[in-house]
Copies of this chain bind each other. A is one copy, B any other.
Amino acid sequence: MTGNAPRRADALRNHDRVIAAARELFAERGLDVTVPEVAARAGVGRATVYRSYPSKEELVLAVARESFRALEERTLAAIAADDAYRAFVAYLPDLLEHLRRDRGLAAAFLEARLVPAARLVDLIGRLVEAAKAAGPLRPDTGVLDVRIVLCGVIRQLIVLDEREPAVWRRYADVILAAFRS
């Protein structure tokens, strides 16, 4: 790690295989995928996975970090928009579509203990506050509503294993209605 000694070629190749397998499996089936399953799909042994990522959480973060960063950027852009309300209205279906496509990302998003997830939820809270000042949202709306309503609906869509894009789109609209005054 620190000494960044040149790692052996097979180690690098296996590392790539592991993260590719994890990316696929997490996206398809969420974070309940077990480490042995990831190892099997990658064609390596369990211990090889744990060598690159000391715990399953590290693996999850490695896979999801980029997606979180992208979502954060979109959120910041929406907050900074001229009309934060319109930006929020456009943002919601976009967010849900991303989460629908990647079950692992959605599951990570709902994991309040995960730092990037908590940060993103806070940002969305700030977006709601900004939107409130620019459009017809409930005056008492805040980050708690994001945590309860937005996260609750997303969690339930996952629990019920809903995959239909139209259904997810519809709930973007329903969530918006819940926030509106």
Residues of A within 8 A of B (CB): 112, 138, 140, 144-145, 147-149, 151-157, 159-160, 162, 167, 170-171, 174-175, 177-178, 180
Q: CB < 8 Å: which of B140, B148, B178 contacts A156?
A: B148
Other than the given A148-B160, A152-B153, 15 more pairs (CB < 8 A) read: A145-B174, A147-B156, A148-B153, A148-B156, A148-B157, A148-B162, A149-B171, A149-B174, A149-B178, A152-B154, A152-B157, A153-B153, A155-B155, A174-B178, A177-B178
A138 contacts across to B, CB distance below 8 A: 174, 177
A177 to B173, CA, bound (A): 12
A174 to B137, CA, bound (A): 12
Is A149 a contact partner of B153 (Cβ separation < 8 A)?
yes
A162 to B170, CA, bound (A): 27
A140 contacts across to B, CB distance below 8 A: 170
Query: What is the total number of copies of this protein in its complex?
Result: 2
**Chain B CB within 10 Å, residue with most, of A145, A147, A157, A174:** A174
A177 to B149, CA, bound (A): 12
A171 contacts across to B, CB distance below 8 A: 148-149
A155 contacts across to B, CB distance below 8 A: 152, 155-156, 159
Chain B: minimal CB distance from A71 (Å): 19
A149 contacts across to B, CB distance below 8 A: 152-153, 156, 171, 174, 178
A167 to B174, CA, bound (A): 20
A180 contacts across to B, CB distance below 8 A: 177
A144 contacts across to B, CB distance below 8 A: 167
With CB as the reference atom, state the residue of chain B lying closest to A156.
B152
